[in-house]
Chains A and B, each alone.
Chain A
Amino acid sequence: MEARRIRMNRSFKMMIRRVYANRLMYLFILPGFIWFLIYKYGPMYGVVIAFKDFKFSEGILGSAWVGLKHFQYLFSMSDFYNIVRNTITINLWNLLFGFTAPIILALIMNEVYSLKFKKAVQLAVYFPHFLSWVVFGGIIINMLNPSQGMINMAIKALGGKPVHFLAQSKYFVGIVVITSIIKEAGWGTIVYLAALAGVDMDQYEAAVIDGANRWQKLIYITLPGISSTIIIMLILRVGYLLDVGFEQIYVLYNPSVYSVGDVISTYIYRMGLQNMQFSLTTAIGLFQGAINFALIFTTNTLAKRFSDVSIW
């Protein structure tokens, strides 16, 4: 007992000595540590206002606890079901087309032999990723404009009537999905192209000798070769089922399409910051975070069981 205490004491002293010897190294860590504490852990603590009636005058600590009041109100609110449904709808379409588009594009790009041509295509398709949603969405709004936009000019030239695409709810989800594919699918190929570059060339040669055609090579060699990358990207993607990028929607939507276009993030912005409903919108954010976490956890567990690929 005594010996153990002395030993522990000694190792404690040694640690103190090591800390002291490296004291200058902690100065490197200090600013970042404080930053994380304030701007990352501060908001995590601030989530408690979902269970309080937050008032500026009382602050986060002083505001009164109200238990699950905001959650009860939330689940009785038709707006809430509406924004959750819109968010999920947009994301499911995005998952179906937006997730597969970069995979297909990468597979097509992989079939090109000319490196110069491939590079030129890459430069073009990566470009829109570097534009902001204001710029890209602004251009789209322009192109879809009923009186002067390129698309409606073409419709008129073909004898049709101009359509105000962005004012009609039936087109909104389609526009969101298509514009995000045009903007991000190219950039999304990078991961898959890297995975494709890692597929063993010998396997293709062996397959060719065995008489395999292009499709057989694709199905039996290429796809299995990049399947783990696809699964990892899918897990990450599913974890964002309740998360539609704020910026895209904020730029493209307008009150006439709120019924299908209003998503969780835009609703939190409008209700929380413009109408000062801090506690209610924090409750929505907490709900969203909890569901996202549950989803990523579930898909990861499933992926681990069925394919032994997982992100943790």
Chain B
Amino acid sequence: MAKARRENPFIIIVLLAVAITAVIPIYYVIMTSLSQPSLVRQGELLLLPRGFTLDSYGMILKNGRFLNSFKVTLIRTLSGTALNLAMQSTFAYGLSKRYLPGRKFFMIFVVITMMFNGGIIPTYLVVRQTKIINTIFALLVPSAISAWNVIVLKSFFENIPESLEESARIDGANPFVIFARIVLPLSTPVLATIGLFAAVTHWNAFMDAIIYINKESLEVLQIYLRDMVLQFEVQSVMGDAMSLGDVSSLSLQTSAIFVSTIPMLLAYPFIQKHFVTGMMIGAVKG
């Protein structure tokens, strides 16, 4: 294989087409949101925005319901990710100690939940019974631990040399100090991977909000967007005139969608570094 290898043009073309298909939806949203609605309606929109305008962004950023739902989602993402990391890492650390009596029992206890689950309705009833329906905790607590992440973290902790912890113990450090000062700092790569993926999940989650939240002040961004899309769909089926002055609900909708995706786009370069580590852990274990 000493020769310089030539790319197969057919393969390059196919992959370009696939890549373009994958990004076209978000591209379409950005272009529509930046265009003059009347021109979009006439089918003028092609590759670049027509009649560039930021009006719809102005409107969406002044909309109280949008801002509130953005805030709720931001809060749930930050606190939810923190809770995920705290609950999963402490639990996994306990399970990583091979000498701990009862460890096998706890492992089986966790693995069983990966194979069987109660389903939507019984889970709803339990969440209801714990009195957290219609509070922010309904979005945080029921998803606080993923059995899968616990197992990933446990395997990672098991590979930290026991001798490091041993020497700290001889110096009189208790397990909490060892965990915070030695184990966690050594685990930043895996914690970053799990944290980033947890944050994305929280940002995008809406099934739990549909089921557990029925209160406008706790509405999450995804529910707001879904209502907006649905309303537009109904209007357009009815053949309504849907312009609000010069800003149509199509522009409003696409602007709202884009604003809600900005955090994702900002996080993507960081997530990108963890694709492989994140999936590799999964692939080896799977």
Residues of A with Cβ closer than 8 Å to B?
15, 18-19, 22, 24-29, 31-33, 35-36, 38-47, 49, 54, 60, 105, 108-109, 111-114, 117, 120-128, 130-143, 145-148, 150, 153, 156-157, 164, 166-167, 182, 186, 190-191, 194-195, 205, 208, 229, 232, 236, 246-247, 250-251, 254, 265, 268-269, 272-273, 278, 281-282, 285-286, 288-289, 293, 311
Contacts and interface: CB of A to CB of B under 8 A. Distances in A.
A-B CB proximity, top 7 nearest? A43-B118, A32-B91, A46-B122, A285-B119, A132-B204, A28-B94, A29-B94
Interface string B99-122: 111100010011001011111111
Given A28-B90, A32-B87, A138 B229 contact: yes
Interface of B: 1, 5, 7-8, 11-12, 14-16, 18-23, 25-26, 28-29, 32, 40-41, 43, 45, 87-88, 90-91, 93-95, 97, 99-102, 106, 109-110, 113, 115-127, 129-130, 141-142, 144-145, 147, 150, 174-176, 179, 200, 203-207, 210-211, 222-223, 225-226, 228-229, 232-233, 236-237, 239, 250, 253-254, 257, 260-261, 264, 268, 271-272, 275-276, 279-280, 282-283, 286
A268 B28 CA distance: 34
A145 B94 contact: no
Contact of B25 (A121, A128, A278): A128
B99 A247 contact: no
Contact of B236 (A145, A246, A311): A145
B233 A141 contact: yes
Contacts of A133: 204, 206
Contacts of B43: 153, 156-157
Contact of B233 (A60, A120, A254): A254
A117 B12 contact: yes
Nearest to B119: A285
Contact of B22 (A186, A272, A273): A186
Contacts of A282: 119, 121-122
